[in-house]
Structure 1
Amino acid sequence: MNMTDTCTGVPPLEGTVKRGGSLADFIWFRCGGPAEWLVRPTDVEDLSQFLSQLDPAISVLAVGVGSNLIVRDGGVRGVVVRLPKSFAEITIEEGNRVRAGGAAMGITVASKARDAGIAGLEFLRGIPGTAGGAVRMNAGAYGREAQDILVEATLVMRDGTVEVWPLERFEYSYRHSAVPAGAIIVEALFEGVPGDPETIGAEMERIAAEREASQPLRSRTGGSTFKNPPGGKAWQLVDAAGCRGLTIGGAQVSEKHTNFLLNIGGATAADIEALGDEVRRRVFEHSGVELEWEIQRVGDAE
């Protein structure tokens, strides 16, 4: 157990608390500053007690694998919560339901559903993040979104209370939900339909092959950079504006898929964010469309 730091109001935890914990070690871009406090709770009760005792003035941010995140170079003030493997358990329940911990990876959830003959969750194979992240941002791919399969989810609120939200309470829209700042999704209950494991597996393989062919999966990158505008595709607008391969510092617009930014070596978070803003400027100048960021940008600039 870590002792309370009386100077900061950070309470004790059964898990780990690290001051100045590196985020660049695990977020996909592999750059950016540290967390003021990086917290890994052991279980829901541990997290709940920690948040209930944490000074309300201290901000809380949940981070999964950081596949949709730019952490600015000055780092993130307050507490960053990263759920460990103890939050990644997946169980199959009656009624074609899959219960997944917030830290469970989308591909693992899809695979467990396949093995149980549950169809409808295949698209999670194409989402490179956690179940918690998918629920928070209504992640989607290949024609489906989290809202299409979610029954309910368990949240630990910023004040430490534990709440179970039914689907309707999330008030989902495109890549957005009503989950408040500081709340952490620790478990989700998904529902599919009966299916043949071989057919489900074939669809997952198709999704994997399509991603491999079209996205820079083996690069230091994030997820989709910009939201698709109504009736359009962000990558097409970026391409039409002449941004394919555009570089600022160590950051580059992917040649393979123009809605992905890359850290091609030594990029700072400032390089990546500046490149994204330059792409937005050029797209607006070319087409009059103002692209919205889909990647979450957090922390302070240096």
Structure 2
Amino acid sequence: MIETLPCVRGTLTADRPLADLTWMRVGGPAQVLFQPADTDDLAAFLAALDPSVPVFTMGVGSNLIVRDGGIPGVVIRLGRGFNSITIDDSSVTAGAAALDSHVARRAADAGLDLTFLRTIPGSIGGAVRMNAGCYGCYVADVLTSVRLMLRDGTMHDLPAAQLHLAYRQSQLPDGAIILAATFAPPAGDPQALGARMDDQLAKRDATQPTKDRTAGSTFRNPAGFSSTGRADDTHELKAWAVIDAAGLRGATLGGAVMNTKHPNFLTNAGGATAADLEDLGEMVRKKVYDSQGITLEWEIMRVGLRHAD
């Protein structure tokens, strides 16, 4: 297929293994991996690409399981041409490939509070798409607008309200690629913001398996229930707690394990396949439902084919 694709200034690679581009270190190849040089390169490629060719866009692979059969079509990975960070007196604009932690540090140095991003793994594109958050703050609280590229290569600026951000989700146009996001954070003292991030990192390292091969939180926190028994959106019930209550801390399948330090972290303990990880996750979902009547929803994105053709 690579010979039929549009010419680019970036890099096209056929049958590119993706395992080393994900934090889990599992999965099959991209049929073609495209690493665009910049926005213009991406736009020209998409405008000329046959609309029937499937396209998947990935960032740094921090919240992703690529299945063992790989991903058909074109996988677009945004890199250096998409990681700029621009700051003025009251706003921060970051490219989709900018790391969350880098954006938090740069903003803090400028006296702007995006400290909640410091401990979130991944890049800004994924943070916006998933409305990432912690410590009571979410992307939705500070996002003002996004720049998108549609499947036909056209660019559009959308106000944050049009993304309808909710808990761990957004509503983007079909096939849209996030190019950049603009935030309007509250002001803060740079030294105090730096100290807060140091405290957050220490807390994270004490409670989460930051040195292991994980993809962050595996499951979303379940919706809570009001006094009438109706589901609400508080999410005060924690996924790790219901996994623990089901006796699944440390559960294993092949090389996959529900981490003993934090049982909502699905972990490649060594030699796991993507199928091991996904099947263990599904086993956990079933046992939690059978024992507690709670349906856990995946937070990790799982893409590609279970088996190679």
- 1:111 corresponds, among 101, 105, 115, to 105
- 2:303 counterpart (292, 298, 302): 298
Structure 2 letter corresponding to 1:124: L
Superposed displacement of residue 86, structure 1: 2.1
The reply to whether residue 245 of structure 1 matches residue 250 of structure 2 is yes
Query: Are 2:28 and 1:30 aligned?
Result: no
**Could you tell me how far 1:181 is from its partner in structure 2?**
4.0
2:147 aligned with 1:154, yes or no? yes
What's the counterpart of residue 234 of structure 2?
none
For each residue in 1:218-263, what CA deviation from the matched residue of structure 2 results, as whole angstroms up to 9, or x when unmatched?
Answer: 1111111101011211000000000000000000000011110110
Unpaired segments ≥5 residues, structure 2? 225-236
User: Residues of 1 paired with 2:54 and 2:163: CA distance?
Assistant: 21
Alpha-carbon distance, 1:4 to partner: 6.6
SS in 2 for 1:211: helix
Q: Which residue of 97, 114, 135 maps to 1:142?
A: 135
Per-residue deviation, residues 87-109 of structure 1 (Å, max 9, x unmatched): 11111123x21111110000000
Distance 1:252 1:38, change over 3 A: same
Q: Tell me, yes or no, if structure 1 residue 56 matches structure 2 residue 56.
A: no
1:67 equivalent to 2:62? Answer yes
Q: Any unmatched runs of 5+ in structure 1? A: none
The ranges of structure 1 where at least 4 consecutive aligned residues each deviate by more than 3 angstroms after the TM superposition are none
1:47 to 25, 28, 42: 42
Shift of 1:180: 3.3
Residue 192 of structure 1: aligned partner? 185
Distance of aligned partners of 1:36 and 1:274 in 2 relative to their CA distance in 1, 3 Å threshold? same
Partner-residue secondary structure (3-state), 2:32 = strand
Indicate the residue corresponding to 2:232 in structure 1. none
Is residue 70–residue 296 contact of structure 1 (8 Å, CA) maintained in 2?
yes
The whole-number CA distance in structure 2 between the counterparts of 1:291 and 1:191 is: 33
Aligned positions of 1:1-302 closer than 5 A: 5-6=3-4, 10-94=5-89, 96-119=90-113, 121-231=114-224, 232-302=237-307
Q: 1:30: Cα distance to partner? A: 0.2
Give the direction of change, closer, same or farther, for the CA distance of 1:234–1:5 in structure 2 (3 Å limit): same
Task: Give, as a single letter, the amino acid of the residue that structure 2 aligns with 1:70.
Answer: I
Q: C-alpha deviations, 1:77-128, integer Å up to 9, x for none?
A: 111111111211111123x211111100000000001100112x10000110
Deviations 1:21-46 (A, max 9, x none): 12111200001001111111111111
Give the match's secondary structure for 2:178.
Answer: strand
Tell me which amino acid in the other structure corresponds to 1:212.
Answer: D
Amino acid across the alignment from 1:113: A
Aligned length: 295
Partners of 1:210 and 1:242 in 2: how far apart?
A: 25
Contact 1:59 1:182 in 2 (8 A): no
* Contact 2:82–2:179 (Cα < 8 Å) also in 1: yes
Structure 1 CA distance for aligned equivalents of residues 252 and 287 of structure 2: 13
What is the TM-score when the length of structure 1 is the normalising length?
0.95
Distance across 2 between alignment mates of 1:152 and 1:93: 15
Quick check: 1:4–1:12 contact (8 Å CA) kept in 2? no
User: 1: CA distance between counterparts of 2:124 and 2:83?
Assistant: 9
Letter in 1 for 2:49: L
CA distance in 1 between partners of 2:195 and 2:167 (Å): 28
Percent identity over the alignment is 52
- Structure 1 pair 272–261 and aligned structure 2 pair: CA distance change class (3 A): same
Find the counterpart in structure 1 of residue 233 from structure 2.
none
Q: 2:145 is paired with a residue of what secondary structure?
A: strand
SS in 2 for 1:5: helix
